[in-house]
Amino acid sequence: MSTYAARTIDELKNEYAAVKGHYEDLKARALSLNMARGKPGKAQLDLVSDILTVLTDPAQCVSDGIEARNYGELTGLPAAKRLFAELLGCKPEECFIGGNASLTLMYDTISKAYTHGLLHSEKPWCKEEKIKFLCPCPGYDRHFKITESFGFEMINIPMTPTGPDMDLVESLVKDPTVKGMWCVPKYSNPDGIVYSAETVRRIAAMKPAAPDFLLMWDNAYCIHEFDGDFVPFDDILTLCREAGNPDMVFEYASTSKITLPGAGVSVMAASVDNQKYMESLLTIQTISYDKVNQLRHVLYLKDKENTLKLMKKHAEIMRPKFQCVLRWLDTEIEPLGIASWQRPKGGYFVSVNTVPGLAKRTLALCKEAGVVMTGAGATFPYGKDPQDSNIRIAPSLPPVEELEQAMDVFCTCLKLAALEQKLA
Amino acid sequence: MSTYAARTIDELKNEYAAVKGHYEDLKARALSLNMARGKPGKAQLDLVSDILTVLTDPAQCVSDGIEARNYGELTGLPAAKRLFAELLGCKPEECFIGGNASLTLMYDTISKAYTHGLLHSEKPWCKEEKIKFLCPCPGYDRHFKITESFGFEMINIPMTPTGPDMDLVESLVKDPTVKGMWCVPKYSNPDGIVYSAETVRRIAAMKPAAPDFLLMWDNAYCIHEFDGDFVPFDDILTLCREAGNPDMVFEYASTSKITLPGAGVSVMAASVDNQKYMESLLTIQTISYDKVNQLRHVLYLKDKENTLKLMKKHAEIMRPKFQCVLRWLDTEIEPLGIASWQRPKGGYFVSVNTVPGLAKRTLALCKEAGVVMTGAGATFPYGKDPQDSNIRIAPSLPPVEELEQAMDVFCTCLKLAALEQKLA
């Protein structure tokens, strides 16, 4: 089998006829499959549903002397802070425990920067003429939507196999209107890249011109290995403190992909000074988050050792799905030279980069054949992929047997798009 | 027993000596009692703790075909919408189900008005020169803190026995910089006043100059009678729609004082057009709220009839506490002519208005004797009670035997403050 680039027009026409025929067969199956979002599948939900029974007795509801059922304790239960601090490698007093969504804590941080300013802001960001934000990409669409929603100018930062292009980042942060940067440091969304220790150190040691530069450290996949053992990762709060930037970083994580995605607990980790400042703003927004659910998580997850054991069970469910995706790509696409991809060992995605100009068409063909995927361009700011190349595959939701069909459709559509382009 | 005003200096001096002696006795007891916040007591927590056992089987987690354990359904479970719609008298499609705090939904509404504008805003409120907000007072300190936090100018609106002074309100809303108004329409915080049907109709029919006037309708005590049967109350969404103001109002409620205060479910009710608009902003802030907890509430509360039965049980716990407060006030304070108060049949507070100038001193004396109460002035914008007169008593948290002691302290301190003033 040779690459498409090496084939003659006649060979490509024959291939087109064969692929088109297979595509029509697939369409005739009237499939309805979804690889759009990093949504855990039913087996993962069932795996963790004992959390529904772990707290049933009112006598269990007192934690460190705090009545979890009543109002109070804005910053969260101490036991929940200890649990997250152990998972993230920071200190309990650096942890603020939120509701079921770390996305909300991220939004609220940026919203408060906009309405009130951060600890070291000269004024609220809504009073600034211009705010720019660095966006390593491909990246997480929901991050970009937040900064887009507040009207910030987003600047694309290319991802490398060791993380964001740090030469570019270090140069751009000299601009005082550059106020922050999005990062998913471990198993980045969507590439699954783990930032190298060197990259993380360079990020922590940045010298931004903006005194209130906001490093948004979304450690969404901090313990989410699906292939191999837990990979230790430096604590960004410590590194920033040691580099003289103690208040530059806010780190986020949640149990959404550890326990129940719709009913988890989130954390925002930051310096104690940042915590005090944010508490002064968040106390206006709420009395306290759901401490009963925090306690449920403490009782269910117990500690890091026990949580990592649970993650191994998630991995057993996830690994075959990623193996399926990679097998299809390796077998059907690799020989054709029309796309490349990372081989992540954790996280929730496989990120495929096609030769330029194929992403939109591939996904349109998938949709027509009943396979819904993350929209083309979604992994870039403003939904604009300059190369029309990146496609995020989210294999977690469908069972493997459905995934086999979905990947058949995907590979067929990618080939078809490539052949259409060649023959146009 | 004659009023203090009718007594001679010698009589007042004798009274002072007696009251002061009793105060010193009380101080010697080294009490530590809290009547500061509308926090349910332990008996109420225990009353509703069966909610911890109502959802334990994964098979229960599908509601109207929706998997409650997974991500999704930003606006909430349909079953939760139906439950709240029945409680509030509005339509399910007018309900947005949030997390554990209606305060957060209120904050988020105002925050979004500030950062993005409301449905009928010409621009985000942060781009306006001046924003004014009407604050019926005494009122809820956490409301005032929100509008203060965003720098709005708050205008005091006197409360009458039928609700806010509507002549004043109708006149002030002709000013286009007046952008909204706080209301707790049923068992107002702290007076426990139920707005009359006439007041509610006048509010719904206001003709504000601001096209994006925001009526903040915090129906916190919608079913919270502790004395007598449920009192029906007109649906504000219907009244506003009928008056040609369909998008003027956002209504809020929660189960915080129905089930567990720290782990309840909140609702924001508004026109379908408002819901669509807010959804377009809230979808940036979160993927979905905790649907497992929503489902727990649906299973536990079932419907309005069952929920009202539960509220009768709360009333059995609450009523003796209010009776205790009123008995102390009637016996010890009423004959002296130094304060007046409402006699609420629902809600969480008794609001005492002293003769001018006694509130701060009374509460300082209480604190010295180990009784913590809501800070003086807290019931007014900027914490400034122009008369230094209003004191909010929150009797829900302490058991009756503690409340007896706390009210002894309170009445003693109020007398002492009055006598100090007379003798100064």
Average pLDDT, chain A: 97
Closest residue to B262, CB basis, from A53, A263, A290: A290
Tell me the CA distances in angstroms from B398 to B258, B309, B390, one per residue in order. 18, 23, 21
Nearest CA in chain B to A260: B69
Asked if A104's CB is within 8 angstroms of B71's CB, the reply is no
**C-alpha–C-alpha distance, residues A232 and A225, integer Å:** 11
Which of the residue ranges A296-300, A372-376, B312-316 would you say has the lowest mean pLDDT? A372-376
pLDDT in tens, A185-222: 999 999 999 999 999 999 999 999 999 999 999 999 99
Q: What is the pLDDT of residue B1?
A: 76
Residues in chain A closer than 8 A to B287 (CB atoms): 101, 103, 142
For residue B281, the chain A residues in CB contact (below 8 A) are 149
Long-range contacts: B7-14, Cβ < 8 Å, 24+? Answer: B9/B423, B12/B419, B12/B422, B12/B423, B13/B423
* pLDDT, average across residues A170-189: 98
Under an 8 A CB cutoff, do B99 and A103 touch?
A: no
Conformation bin of residue A208: beta by default, left when phi > 0, alpha when psi is -120 to 50 = beta
Torsion, Cα of A79, A85, A91, A96 (10° steps): -70
**pTM attached to this predicted model:** 0.97
Q: Is B115 close to A150, i.e. CB distance below 8 A? A: yes
Instruction: Check if the beta carbon of residue A114 is closer than 8 Å to that of residue A126.
Output: yes
Residue B250 CB partners (closer than 8 Å, separation 6+): B106, B109, B214, B215, B216, B217, B268, B269, B270, B274
Nearest CA among B194, B165, B141 for reference residue B342: B194
Is any Cβ of chain A less than 8 angstroms from the Cβ of B72? yes
What is the nearest CA distance from B45 to chain A, expressed in angstroms?
7
Return d(Cα B416, Cα A22) in angstroms, integer: 92
**Of all residues in chain A, what percent are helix, strand and coil, respectively (each to 5)?**
45, 15, 40
Taking CB atoms and an 8 Å cut-off, how many pairs form between chains A and B?
163
CB B399 within 8 A of CB B391: no
* Chain B contact present for A46, CB below 8 A: yes
Judged by a CB distance cut-off of 8 A, whether residue B42 touches chain A is yes
Burial (Cβ within 10 Å: 0-12, 13-18, ≥19) of residue B332:
middle
- A108, A262, A286 member nearest B103 (Cβ): A286
Give the model's pLDDT for residue A34.
92
Query: Inter-chain contact B52–A285, Cβ cutoff 8 Å?
Result: no
Chain B 22-41, residues with CB within 8 Å of chain A CB atoms: 37, 39-40
Q: How far are the Cα atoms of A166, A224, A346 from residue A315, in angstroms, in the given order?
A: 31, 8, 9
Question: Between chains, do A68 and B145 touch, taking CB under 8 Å as contact?
Answer: no
Contact B260 A53 (CB under 8 A): no
Q: Which of A359, A355, A320 is nearest to A336 (CA)?
A: A355
Length of chain B: 424
Candidates B49, B55, B291; nearest CB to A58: B49
* B163 Ramachandran zone, left/alpha/beta (phi>0; psi -120 to 50): left
Residue in the structure block whose two tokens are 């909430």: B76
Q: Is A109 on the interface with B (CB under 8 A)?
A: no
Chain A closest CA to B284's CA: distance in Å?
6
Give the A window 254-313 contacts with B, CB below 8 Å.
256, 260-263, 281, 284-293
> B99 contacts in A (CB within 8 Å)?
99-100, 289-290
Rounded distance, CA B177 to CA B153, Å? 10
Interface test with A, best of B37, B62, B70, B278 (most A CBs within 10 A): B70
Cβ–Cβ below 8 Å for B262 and A39? no
**Which string of b and e fits B275-285 if b means at least 16 CB within 10 Å?**
bebbeebbebb
DSSP tag of B329? I
Tokens at A39, concatenated = 């949504």
Any B CB within 8 A of A129 CB: no
- Token digits of residue B18: 């007696």
Q: Which of B349, B421, B420 is nearest to B391 (CA)?
A: B349
Give me the residue from B37, B262, B290 closest to A69, CB to CB.
B262
Give pLDDT, residue A1.
76
Identity (one letter) of the amino acid at A288?
Answer: S
Fill in the DSSP letter of residue B196.
Answer: P
Q: Which of B40, B288, B293 sits opposite A293 (nearest CB)?
A: B293
| DSSP states of B275-305 | HHHHHHHHHHH-S---HHHHHHHHHHH-SHH
B57 contacts A284? CB cut-off 8 A: no
Cβ pair B42:A72 closer than 8 A: no
B-chain residues within 8 Å CB-CB of A115? 111, 114-115, 126, 150
Taking the Cβ of residue B126 and every Cβ of chain A, the question of whether any pair is shorter than 8 Å is answered with yes
B187: left (phi over 0), alpha (psi -120 to 50) or beta: left
Cα torsion at A89, A95, A97, A98 (round to 10°)? -100
Residues with Cβ within 8 Å of residue B118, at least 6 apart in sequence: B112, B212, B214, B274, B277
A253: enclosing H helix or E strand: strand A249-254
Written as tens digits, the pLDDT of chain B (424 aa) is: 799 999 999 999 999 999 999 999 999 999 999 999 999 999 999 999 999 999 999 999 999 999 999 999 999 999 999 999 999 999 999 999 999 999 999 999 999 999 999 999 999 999 999 999 999 999 999 999 999 999 999 999 999 999 999 999 999 999 999 999 999 999 999 999 999 999 999 999 999 999 999 999 999 999 999 999 999 999 999 999 999 999 999 999 999 999 999 899 999 999 999 999 999 999 999 999 999 999 999 999 999 999 999 999 999 999 999 999 999 999 999 999 999 999 999 999 999 999 999 999 999 999 999 999 999 999 999 999 999 999 999 999 999 999 999 999 999 999 999 999 999 9
Question: What distance in Å separates the CA atoms of residue B42 and residue B2, rounded to the nearest whole number?
Answer: 40
| Secondary structure percentages of chain B, helix, strand, coil, to 5 | 45, 15, 40
CA-wise closest residue to B364 among B421, B406, B419, B417: B417
Cβ within 8 Å, pair A126-B115: yes
3-state helix/strand/coil string of A288-347 = CCCHHHHHHHHHHHCCHHHHHHHHHHHHHHHHHHHHHHHHHHHHHHHHHCCEEECCCCEC
**Cβ–Cβ under 8 Å, residues A344 and A319:** no
Confirm if B194 and B349 have CB atoms less than 8 A apart. Answer: no
Name which of A34, A144, A290, A372 to mutate to probe chain B: the one with the most chain B Cβ atoms within 10 A of its Cβ. Answer: A290
Question: Which residue in chain A is spatially nearest to B264 when comparing CA positions?
Answer: A290
Nearest to A45 among B70, B100, B115 (CB): B70
Euclidean distance between CA atoms B347 and B337, whole angstroms: 26
Q: Would you call B145 and A284 a contact, using CB atoms and an 8 Å cutoff? A: yes
Give the residue from chain A lying closest to B74, CA to CA: A262
Q: Mention every residue, 6+ apart, whose C-beta is less than 8 A from residue B327.
A: none
| Min distance A128 CA to chain B CA atoms (Å) | 12
326-355 in chain B: CB under 8 A from chain A: none
How many CB atoms are closer than 10 A to CB B369?
25
Does residue B149 sit at the A interface (CB-CB below 8 Å)? yes
Rg (CA), chain B: 23
Say how many CA atoms lie within 13 Å of B281 toward its Cβ.
23
What would the two tokens of residue B391 be? Answer: 């004191």
Under the banding of pLDDT at 50, 70 and 90, the label for residue A347 is very high
Q: What does the block give as tokens for B35?
A: 């009547």
Is residue B138 classed as helix, strand or coil in its secondary structure? coil
CB nearest to B290's CB, from A69, A107, A290: A290
Please state the ipTM of this predicted complex. 0.97
Indicate yes or no: CB of A290 within 8 angstroms of CB of B263.
Answer: yes
Q: Got the DSSP string for A21-80?
A: HHHHHHHHT---EEESS-PPPHHHHHHTGGGGSS---GGGGEETTEETTSS--TT--HHH
Q: Give the residue from A388, A374, A382 showing the smallest Cα distance to A417.
A: A388
From the CA of B187, how many Å to the nearest CA of chain A? 20
Residue A34 near residue A366, CB atoms below 8 Å: no
Distance of alpha carbon A380 from alpha carbon A143, whole angstroms: 10
Interface of A with B in 221-260 (CB under 8 A): 256, 260
Q: Which residue has the tokens 């069952």?
A: B306
How far apart CA B53 and CA B398 sit, in angstroms, is 27
Residues of A in contact with B111 (CB under 8 A): 111, 115, 285
Residue type, A202: R
The reply to whether residue B58 touches residue A72, judged by beta carbons under 8 angstroms, is no
Would you call B70 and A146 a contact, using CB atoms and an 8 Å cutoff? no
Domains of chain B: 4-45+308-423 (3.90.1150.10), 63-303 (3.40.640.10)
Element (H, E) at B181: strand B178-183
Residues of B in contact with A292 (CB under 8 A): 52, 260, 262-263
Q: A246-260 pLDDT, tens per residue?
A: 999 999 999 999 999
